[in-house]
Structure 1
């Protein structure tokens, strides 16, 4: 790897992930505005937001299957053009379907970035996989912080959502330039000489299948809550978007200091504590108001902070023969679960609102009513209770994860002792 510029490749990877996270942060901030401008209800908004999440697994799984064949460089060049096309189509969107397809393109680009960059990081840093994956993935919450601040302050000064989306073009063009000129290594699995058949056989390992199932829950806990926080808590607090900013800022700091934490606790210990804190944070977000919401946001951020990179790091460290396909199946499984959950909960949220309105009320009529009218006030009051109810329904997921990861912790501990005894 003497001719490989490891630092520039890592910087380019971080910028590519920054674009991915900006798309989440800015979309979370403008989702309500899109609903107003294009007269979209929560079900339609949920479908648009979910499109990014199922475009992601589509790309990450296909990318994982071909990355060893076509190389990480080719995949990242494709991600650049998908990002560019998706951003421009969003800026010039005219309604539901153009927003749907532009979000799909961005989701495919995001998945392609993940498909190439996760194996790239583990290849560049074979002795510090979990730590460097945490450092790489800090740019996901980092970009959400930047994106939500862009959305918050641009909206405050009446700068249109089209300009907000356009800011993503800057890091897109920079990472595209870097990846077009740099030389890439082969993936770690190819370099280690692990055969393709051995890799696919490893995917049937019960431990890998268990981690895939847990990835459903960790991804939903982190990403559904983050993407919908402004919609769910907007009528509970005037600072709903800033709650997301606080959460993601905590995640940035945590991932930046991942090395001593992962070293001291082990990946499984980190996952247990993460699940407990996530459950506590969601409970506070669903049962609080005022400043207590920010306490919940901090605890929730501490909880979900290590979920995604540590799940990938666990697979990279303990199931290395699964290769790039294993890493990307994990990412794809997580995003697919979020996409399904978002569509389901968007519909569930609309049903919750209807149940709180007068009998036979039309949600579309109430949504179109002036905020200071009787219908507008009734809808606002319905949202005050419906949003936290959705958060409380999601709380069961990190509770289940706490039990699952506790079992995993003792299983891995027993396996480690057995290995030492055998040795």
Structure 2
């Protein structure tokens, strides 16, 4: 670990920058989704616009999931440095594809180009997490939960910067110019990675062969519980974050992206204390409490109808979901160390796949509710002003009611795991 110790701080902050870039990109995509929808989708498919923009936003999670699934197994062959260089390149190419979609296609075909750009951005995000999560676990084996939560505190930091930029620059710049802000940190990732020395692959230090790493999933079938739980934790956290600006802006009387910014600030602070909370409750105990708060908060969001009630609901939801993603990764790293980057990548890809399926589902529920509440597609097309706003408000409530059910399932899952692990000696939890 000599090289890792010498460059540990620089490597950690490069990891932070890569994740910050992914988060800023996601936030700016969410902040500009309404502009994309209004300019390119509403004119050609108004009744189906919610599903279509949901599909486009969800494409980044598909790219993330597939990339994480493949590259996490091949990390030691590809190398962390190459992964981070490719990560920066993907954010540049993907963002430019979205920005130039109107020049590359016409009418309904623009949606396909936007979808492709979102997909490429998701590939960049997948490359980032494939590299930085195992790298952080490798650099800080004695404090994995705390360090992964510190690393992932910079995910909400990126959401804050992107969200505030999307809000305050909306009147001064086009949505294209706002989305283009992603290019700056993406270039910095490439420049810094080029000048950074990386430690040897994790498997070179542990002595675990590639075959042993790949078969650990079958040797430790309890991993499937964490894999399945990640579908629901990610859907509880990330899907509402991507959907909030589209669905809640008119409903609560404030830009939904501001709710995302506020929740992100809350997450940034709370993730720095996750290590102490996990030490007190254990990881499953912390995740159980998080699921309870997430369920309550999402239900409150479905009922929020003013800035005050929206902020209160967002506080409860944010306090619930803030530690879910990094604590899930840390739980897998600690319990299945021989699985290395592969098992961390598998659980991350599960989370991303859930968003890919959930976001279009949210859009479809939203669209169906609009048509139902308006009395038919023709009636919806004729609505304007306050009448249309009311229909959209009630439709948004139905979409959030759907996602609020997911963390309720997690209460059972994490409750059982928590009780079972409390009966085991601590030393046996990650035993091979």
TM-score tier by shorter-chain length is: over 0.9
Structure 1, unaligned runs of 5 or more: 367-373
Give CA deviations for 1:31-52 in whole Å, capped at 9, x if unaligned: 1111111134111101100100
Return the alpha-carbon distance in structure 1 between the equivalents of residues 426 and 72 of structure 2.
33
Deviates more, 1:138-147 or 1:239-248: 239-248
Structure-1 residue corresponding to 2:400: 391
Equivalent residues in 2 for 1:328-347, closer than 5 Å: 328-347=345-364
Aligned partners of 1:3, 1:112: CA distance in 2, in Å? 22
Q: Is the 8 A contact 1:278 1:303 kept in 2?
A: yes
Instruction: Assess if the C-alpha contact under 8 Å between 1:189 and 1:324 holds in 2.
Output: no
* CA contact 2:149–2:271 (8 Å) conserved in 1: yes
> Which residue in the other structure is 1:59 paired with?
67
| Bigger shift: residues 67-76 or 146-155 | 67-76
> CA, structure 1 residues 212+419, in 2 after alignment: closer, same or farther (shift >3 Å)?
closer
> What does residue 324 of structure 2 align with?
307
**Residue 96 (structure 2) aligned to one of 70, 88, 95:** 88
Contact 1:21 1:141 in 2 (8 A): yes
SS at match of 2:363: helix
Query: TM-score under structure 2 normalisation?
Result: 0.92
Distance 2:51 2:309 in 1: 29
The count of aligned residue pairs is 412
Instruction: Tell me the SS of whatever aligns to 2:425.
Output: helix
Of residues 287, 290, 299 in structure 1, which corresponds to 2:303? Answer: 287
SS at match of 1:301: helix
Report if the CA contact (8 A) 2:298-2:313 is conserved.
Answer: yes
Within 5 A, what are the aligned runs for 1:308-327?
308-327=325-344
**Which deviates the most, 263-272 or 403-412?**
263-272
Deviation readout 1:299-350 (Å, 9 max, x if unpaired): 1111001100000000001111111000001111110111011122212211
Q: Is the 8 A contact 1:122 1:188 kept in 2?
A: no
Q: 1:219 maps to what in 2?
A: 234
Question: Runs of at least 4 residues of structure 1 off by over 6 A?
Answer: none
Q: Secondary structure at the match of 1:234?
A: helix
Structure-to-structure mapping, 1:263-282, within 5 angstroms: 263-282=279-298
TM-score between both structures, scaled by the size of structure 1:
0.94
Name the counterpart of 2:156.
Answer: 141
CA deviation string 1:189-208 (max 9, x = no partner):
33100122222221122221
CA RMSD of aligned residues (A): 1.8
Structure 1: distance between partners of 2:73 and 2:212: 14
Please give the per-residue CA displacement for 1:213-252, whole angstroms capped at 9, x wherever unaligned.
Answer: 0000000000101000111212212222211111111111
Cα offset, 1:418, TM superposition: 9.1
Q: Is the 8 A contact 2:89 2:186 kept in 1?
A: no
Mapped partners of 1:187, 1:118: distance in 2: 13
State how far apart, in whole Å, the 1-side matches of 2:130 and 2:347 are. Answer: 10
Q: Is the 8 A contact 1:148 1:245 kept in 2?
A: yes
Aligned to 2:172: 158
Aligned match of 2:190: 176
Instruction: From 251, 256, 265, give the equivalent of 1:236.
Output: 251
CA distance in 1, matches of 2:372, 2:172: 34
Which residue matches 2:45? none
For 2:126 and 2:202, the matched residues in 1 are separated by 20
The match for 2:209 is 195
